[in-house]
Amino acid sequence: MDTQNSAKVNTRKRRKETPGPNGATEEDGIPSKMPRCAIGLRQPAPFSDEIEVDFSKPYVRVTMEEASRGTPCERPVRVYADGIFDLFHSGHARALMQAKNLFPNTYLIVGVCSDELTHNFKGFTVMNENERYDAVQHCRYVDEVVRNAPWTLTPEFLAEHRIDFVAHDDIPYSSAGSDDVYKHIKEAGMFAPTQRTEGISTSDIITRIVRDYDVYARRNLQRGYTAKELNVSFINEKKYHLQERVDKVKKKVKDVEEKSKEFVQKVEEKSIDLIQKWEEKSREFIGSFLEMFGPEGALKHMLKEGKGRMLQAISPRQSPSNSPTRERSPSPSFRWPFSGKTSPPSSPTNLSRHKSAAYDIRYSYLEQNKFGSYVLLAQVQ
């Protein structure tokens, strides 16, 4: 804990529309990342009236120089910060963080004003005093909480709680008939200034709610709150319900439009893919068609080859003159293919010529059978 307290944190001023994390700007010097630490407080800060104080030991206030230099562990610098802390937000937490890190060894006491004092001097609060006490109790920088804190700090109060310094922003706080309620603290040299966090405050949060009242009223009606609980009239209640229905219809129409746009986009993407695939397939089809039916395609070569075979079949080869003749006995029932009459008996001198003619006829018939032709052609030499 001493090591953590000894490291001073540079004051960072938050502005509206700031790009840095936690509202920090580039000028603030964002600290580098540190290892994750699981050590932390497990209980809320106690109330001052629940702590036993040993008044037998004398109380001697430390100076600013001694506090800045560092004090022993058993004698921390007791810093007091007070406020209303209504709708506890990050601005409150950052102010308490600055107060906690004013000195290396700091014990932070936070005073919270009661509802009675706040309503008299400042105005009505959203949270009651118990809710505000509880919110401050659970801030990690707080060591002790003072309930029903005074509006103006008295010497008796400072001595009772053994306060060394009072932390607050240095802007004069005019209230209770005084131009600055911390004027006497500053003159006594007990004031330790902090900086306000701009862009966030209780008044700003309330302003947002009042500005968007209809939105939040409709929101709470939708969540189950009654018009009586929200102090909403009967007419406004019906108006809010009607607006809620209209918004639902608009939302449905918007969803349908978005879905239709997505569908059209998907169809366009698919159509583009189909066109590209069709173009690729069409090129392949055209190429295959030209290979088959083109001027130099396979079909032309097939027709040429078939034509050659047909011509060869129609004009058969002649038998060689020196081929050996086969001896075959003449058949008495042999008939010429071009006449229905029986051939006359041949003389022995014409027998060899007749056998040669029969050989040629037989050869031509077989040639035609090879190519599937049923025309019998005879050629006689």
Q: How confident is the model at residue 119 (pLDDT cuts 50, 70, 90)?
A: very high
The model's pTM? 0.58
- Read off φ and ψ for residue 194, nearest 5 degrees: -125, 175
Average pLDDT over residues 99-103: 95
Mean residue pLDDT of the chain comes to: 78
Compute the distance between CA of residue 167 and CA of residue 107 in angstroms, rounded to an integer. 12
Q: Please report, for residues 56, 111, 116, the alpha-carbon distance to residue 150 in angstroms, rounded to integers and kept in the order given.
A: 25, 8, 11
Helix (H, G, I), strand (E, B) or coil at 240: helix
Q: What is the mean pLDDT of residues 312-341?
A: 54
**Would you say the C-alpha torsion 115, 117, 119, 123 has a positive or negative sign?**
negative
The phi-psi region of residue 378 (left if phi > 0; otherwise alpha if psi is between -120 and 50; otherwise beta) is beta
Per-residue confidence at 2, pLDDT binned at 50, 70, 90?
very low
For residue 268 the two structure tokens come to 């366009």
Residue 274 has pLDDT above 60, yes or no: yes
- Cα dihedral sign for 19, 20, 23, 26? negative
At 261 the pLDDT is 86
Cα angle for residues 301, 304, 306 (degrees, 5° grid): 110
Retrieve residue 245's tokens.
């229905």
Residue 338 has pLDDT above 70, yes or no: no
Query: Of 109-123, 163-177, 229-243, 360-374, where does mean pLDDT reach its minimum?
Result: 360-374
pLDDT of residue 239: 84
Mean pLDDT for the stretch of residues 104-108: 95
Residue 240 phi, psi dihedral angles, 5° rounding: -65, -40
pLDDT at 9: 41
The domain made up of 48-200 is a member of CATH 3.90.920.20: no
* Residue 318 pLDDT grade (very low, low, confident, very high; cuts 50, 70, 90): low
Q: What is the mean pLDDT of residues 58-79?
A: 92
With beta carbons less than 8 A apart as the criterion, state whether 359 and 324 touch: no
- The residue ranking higher by pLDDT, 192 or 325, is 192
Q: What is the pLDDT of residue 3?
A: 43
CA–CA distance, 74 with 107 (Å, rounded to integer): 11
Q: What is the pLDDT of residue 189?
A: 92
At 296, the pLDDT band (50, 70, 90 cuts) reads confident
* Structure-token pair, residue 17: 């529309």
Q: What is the location of CATH 3.40.50.620 in the chain?
A: 48-200
Task: Give the burial class of 303: count Cβ atoms within 10 A of its Cβ; 0-12 exposed, 13-18 middle, 19 or more buried.
Answer: exposed
Band of residue 21 on the pLDDT scale cut at 50, 70, 90: very low
CA–CA dist 121, 149 (Å, integer)? 13
pLDDT at 218 over 80: yes
139 and 83 in contact (C-beta within 8 Å)?
A: no
Task: For Cα atoms 212, 218, 219, give the angle at the middle one, nearest 5 degrees.
Answer: 90
Whether 85 and 136 have beta carbons less than 8 Å apart is answered as yes
More confident call, 375 vs 56? 56
pLDDT of residue 55: 80
Check pLDDT > 90 for residue 103: yes
